[in-house]
Structures are given as C-alpha cells and as structure tokens.
Amino acid sequence: MIEKYSDYKALSFFEELTKIPRCSGNEKEVSDWLVRFARERNLEVHQDKALNIIIKKPGTAGKENNPPIILQGHMDMVCVKEDSCAFDFEKDAIPIDVEDDWIVTKGTTLGADNGIAVAMILAVLDDCEMEHPPIEALITTDEEVGLLGATAVNGELFRGRTLINLDSEEEGVFLTSCAGGVRNVLALPVRWKQNKKKNAFEITINGLQGGHSGMEIHKGRANANRLMGRLLEEVGGGARISLLEGGDKMNAIASKARAIITMNGSPEGVVKKMQRIFSQEYRISDPDISISVKEVELPEQAVSSGTTERIIALLQLIPDGVQSMSLEVEGLVETSTNLGVVRLKDEEIYFESAHRSSVESKKVFLIKKFEQLAILTGAGIIIQGNYPGWQYSPVSPIRELFMKTYKELTGKEAKQEAIHAGLECGILQEKLGEADMISLGPNMLNVHTPYERLSISSTERTYTLLTEVLRRL
C-alpha cells in the first residue's frame, strides 16, 4: 500500500486508479468511477459523450466569488508490457511496488502519466479544509492517442480563464508552450502467395530502451522497426515475409520487432553481423540490443516478393526521429516523427507514425512527405488526430505566481521551458479563448515503458506547491 509512505491523499487516490482499467479507448469504467467520486461528495459533475469529466467545487469562505481555476489532466494511459509479463490491462490491477523514493511496477507501464494528475486533482476536490477559489476540474480521455478527448470538450461549460495542466514530468520545470502534432497511417496492400521456400525463421529484435516519442526522441534511441528494415534488407536473397510486427504505440519509440521470413538457406550469418553493427552504433543509447533467430514451422503462405521489397523499402525510407532542431530555443527539438507501430494484416500492412512540430508549416511539410511516399509505393494514407501547438505568452500571472511560490517554498529557482511533446493546452486554448496557462508535475522516469516510475517525495512537494498557489490566488 502506498499510503503508509505518505501523508498526502493524492498517492492514495493514485493507488486506487491503478486498480481501474484505463488504457486509451477503454476509459468507460474510470470515467464512471470519477462521476461516482463527485456525486458522493455532492459536487457538480458533467460527463460528455467522449467520457470527459468536469467536476466543479465552490470556493472556500471568502473566495466564493473569485475567478474559477481550471485543474486539468487526462485519465487514459499508455498500456505497454514486457512480453514475458502475464498481465491483462482490461481487468488486472497494475502491480505497483515501492523502491526507496519511487513507485514502480513489474513488467508494465505504471500510468503515472497522467494518473498522478488525476490523483492530485481528486485530492484537492476531496479536501474540506484547504483554502482555494472555485475549482473547475477537467479530466479528459484519449490524450495518448491524439488528444481526442480535449478536442470534444465544450468550452462554454467553463467560467475559468486560468488553467493549470498537471501533465508534466519534471519537478521545478514549468512548461509554457508545446509542439503541435498529427498522426498518420500508411496502409500498403499486400499480395499473398503460396510459399515455395524451403525454410522459415523467426527473427526478434528486443532489449531497446524505447520511450516517449516526444520527451525522449532527441536521445537518439534505436527504433526496432527501423532496425528490422535494415536487417531484412541485408538478408535479401529472395526472402519473403509471412509475419511482421513492431512497436506497441504510435507515440512510443518501438522497443521490439518480430518477423517470420521464408527463404532458401539461413539468415543466421546476417543476424550475427547486424547484431555487431547495431550494438556498436547504439552502444550508448541502447546497450542491451538483442537479436535472436530460430527456425520455425514453414507457413503455407508469404507475401509476394514485390510486396516484400516495398515493405522493406518503407521500413527504411519512412522518416523517423528528429527532423530539425529549433534555432530559437537551444536544445529544443523543432520537428520529429516516430514510426511507432508496424502490423502486417491479411489485406494490408500498416505503418503508424506520430509527427510533432512547433512550426505548423513544417508539420504540414512532413505530412506531404508521407503522402508522396504513399504515391510512390501504392499505399493509402490516413491522417488523424491533428492538434495545434500551445504558443508561449509573454504575460502570464499564473506563471509568475508559480515561479514566486516555488522559490519561497524550496529556495530554488524554477525553470521555464518549451516542450516537444504534445499537451492539451493548445486545444483547450482554442476552446476557452484567451486563457492563462501553465503545465507542471512531479518527477517521473521512463514513461510509456515498463520501467516507468514516479517519485513519492516529488509528488508530495508538487502537491504542496499546487495547494499553496491555490491558497494564494
């Protein structure tokens, strides 16, 4: 139980959230749970068709007529697990544990992104003694698959024009702008033929770091889908693909990939060669890269040689990783794309990518590159989840208050940063009109991976900061 490590109720609520299924697209149960939470406390609650939740709490004595403050986070999580982990995200409680100052999990993502935001908001709503202005809590759905819940929010339901987003991952770093994003899928038709090769082999690439395609794309980590393309190109020799799958989520750097190929001969020599090459190239970012190969039962069918060639070409040609760095903000990725998922199905193979850019025209140009790839290879293209960036505001009372309060509480200067990852602030800015916004959160590591962890002490300090700001407003 987490609560014995902390006096803060936020961690108790977080533990409750780990027991409720909330993968993106499967949020009905947690959304209904939030409705019950509000009704049990006689708070006004609204659940929309997208399952977004709005909970309103009056201001405390003397602050009843103050301008409302919007507290915002998202209820869904990225659901990724290790292959060896026997876990069902649709019904099992996430197996949490504590290691020193960290809440950790065993073989799955933790869901601290963004469950801890929801937990802190619930703690504020549950507290009958805290001094605060009127609270308008907004907890959205499907953030991790294109900020879809935020897109469905009705801005007319809010009176507040100051928004505190709690979807950041580094204590003492206040986010003031973010990139916009879009997702696309290339769908290449496949032609299957009767297999006439003598042997079949399963090739698996794993042991990669993976990570968040916005927060960690600049670290140069290997993408398993890209590596598989390079390896299959080296195999050559008329090999044909009968199975191909890589990555788990469009917005997570692919940490594993698997293929079954048919051929005359063996790919073992190529596998050993590429193991040496990849281990050398990524010895810093991904020191545990592992490629395995084993002979398997010969499948009846494999895709045609022509289709195999186009698949391998796309695996290598689809843009992936950092495309450009900002010339205005040192160290900030300006434009990137991530080939997150590859799946071979009966009629088509799907290549799913997530693009991000703080420059709208470069995001558009990136989409055009994919459209041209689709034309050249005969693939279809699907564009989805296009969302705007959040522009920096030179004047921000809420930012100044957080900076001042943080310094007084900790004796340290907080940082202001732009972020390459997507936040819902851009969409909500359009929904609310002119609004003063900031994003913050406690220390988290390795989000969107089975190694995700949340700092207990940082959560306590962040919650103290939040409640003190609410008191001062």
The per-residue DSSP string of 57-80 comes to EPPPTT-TTSPPEEEEEE--B---
Whether 127 is catalytic is no
Look at residue 112 in the predicted model and tell me its pLDDT. Answer: 97
Look at residue 455 in the predicted model and tell me its pLDDT. Answer: 97
Spatial distance between the Cα atoms of 421 and 168, rounded to a whole number of angstroms? 10
DSSP structural state of residue 85: -
- Active-site annotation holder among 27, 136, 142, 143: 143
Q: Is 408 exposed, middle or buried (0-12, 13-18, 19+ CB in 10 A)?
A: exposed
Look at residue 449 in the predicted model and tell me its pLDDT. Answer: 87
pTM given for the model: 0.79
Fold of 191-344: Alpha-Beta Plaits (3.30.70)
Fold of 3-179+389-472: Aminopeptidase (3.40.630)
Look at residue 322 in the predicted model and tell me its pLDDT. Answer: 97
Find all residues with CB under 8 Å of 36, minimum gap 6, and list them: none
Spatial distance between the Cα atoms of 253 and 217, rounded to a whole number of angstroms? 8
DSSP bridge partners of 321: 337
Look at residue 434 in the predicted model and tell me its pLDDT. Answer: 86
Amino acid symbol at 344:
L
Nearest of 321, 332, 361, 324 to residue 178 by alpha carbon: 332
Phi-psi group of 51: left, alpha or beta (phi > 0 → left; psi -120 to 50 → alpha; rest → beta): left
Whether 83 is catalytic is no
Detail the DSSP E strand segments found in 161-246: 162-165, 173-178, 180-189, 192-194, 199-206, 240-246
DSSP structural state of residue 299: P
- Active-site annotation holder among 15, 16, 76, 142: 76
The CA-based angle 270-273-275, given to 5 degrees, is: 110
Residue 13 phi/psi, 5° resolution? -65, -35
Domain with CATH 3.40.630.10 in the chain: 3-179+389-472
Successive 10-residue mean pLDDT values, the chain, 473 residues: 67 96 97 98 98 98 96 96 91 94 94 97 97 98 92 97 97 94 96 94 96 91 98 93 95 95 96 98 97 97 96 97 90 94 97 94 95 96 91 94 98 94 91 95 93 96 97 96
Return the axis-axis angle of helices 456-472 and 112-126, rounded to nearest 10°: 40
Domain with CATH 3.30.70.360 in the chain: 191-344
Return the axis-axis angle of helices 9-17 and 456-472, rounded to nearest 10°: 120
Spatial distance between the Cα atoms of 87 and 73, rounded to a whole number of angstroms? 26
Look at residue 1 in the predicted model and tell me its pLDDT. Answer: 54
DSSP bridge partners of 387: 181
Look at residue 4 in the predicted model and tell me its pLDDT. Answer: 59
